[in-house]
Amino acid sequence: MKSVRRSQLCKALLVPTSLLTILLYLGVQSTERDVNPAALANIFKYFADNVQPKTQQQKEAQYAIAISVLRAQCTDIHADIQNVFSNKDAKHVKDELRKEQKCVLCTDSRNVIAARPNHTTDEHSEHVLLYPLGESPMEKLLEQADQSSCVVFYSYNSPCVNRCIRGKDNILNGLLNWINSRKNGMNAFVFEEIWKKGSKNNLEEEFLKINAIVPLYRCKRTSDGMECWKCVENNNVATFCLPENK
């Protein structure tokens, strides 16, 4: 009788242990797909210094860029972005953006796409890179990437609510298209400045929608260089990623 009870007890304990193992495995998998904000800071400091286009008034201009790199570039703070995106390549991309030309794998490294807003059609730069579905610049970039790489998409301004999330330049399907092809890959969507025309409540709601598809980060220039922050934890948007209270 004691033997039967011991056997039943062991079986009862096996189920929670197996479940715990699965949950721990999933947790490890999630961690393995998380980028290191400090490593992102190195990438975007380099972009700010070498790629960022200017307006005619010499202010920072809106643009979007995506890059596929080795995972170490997104996790190791000592990794050198110039090993996968040289100064020569960065200058070429900046020159194309200055001419308001679109870069689609236009460098020797063939791991970068970039665009400014299309002033002829009024299409926003994020939308330019993510559409049309089936033949977008982003899909051409992803063809060059595998699941062991890190793909980072950056927009200088945060996506605007009225056009980029709820309007004709809605980017959510484009983001889904990206992630569906890289479900086990390391991916990040990054912005720098908060688009001034979005209210805090609206931005919070829309940032949650983006983060539900792809992890959302903000990188911002500071007196010390560049600081990056994960925008959403436990379904809460970090204050770093929202407008300051005035």
Domain boundaries, the chain: 1-30, 33-241
pLDDT at res. 81: 96
pLDDT at res. 187: 96
pLDDT at res. 198: 57
pLDDT at res. 8: 43
Positions of the chain with pLDDT lower than 50, given as ranges: 1-31
Q: How many CA atoms lie within 13 A of 38 on its CB side?
A: 5
pLDDT at res. 46: 97
pLDDT at res. 146: 86
H or E element in which residue 237 lies = strand 236-237
pLDDT digits (tens, 9 = 90+) for 197-209: 656 677 888 899 9
pLDDT at res. 40: 96
pLDDT digits (tens, 9 = 90+) for 216-236: 999 999 888 899 999 999 999
DSSP 98: H
pLDDT at res. 68: 97
DSSP-derived pairing of the beta strands 186-193 and 216-222: parallel
- Distance separating the N- and C-terminal Cα atoms of the chain: 72
pLDDT at res. 243: 87
Asked if 67 and 152 touch (Cβ cutoff 8 Å), the reply is yes
pLDDT at res. 13: 37
pLDDT at res. 163: 55
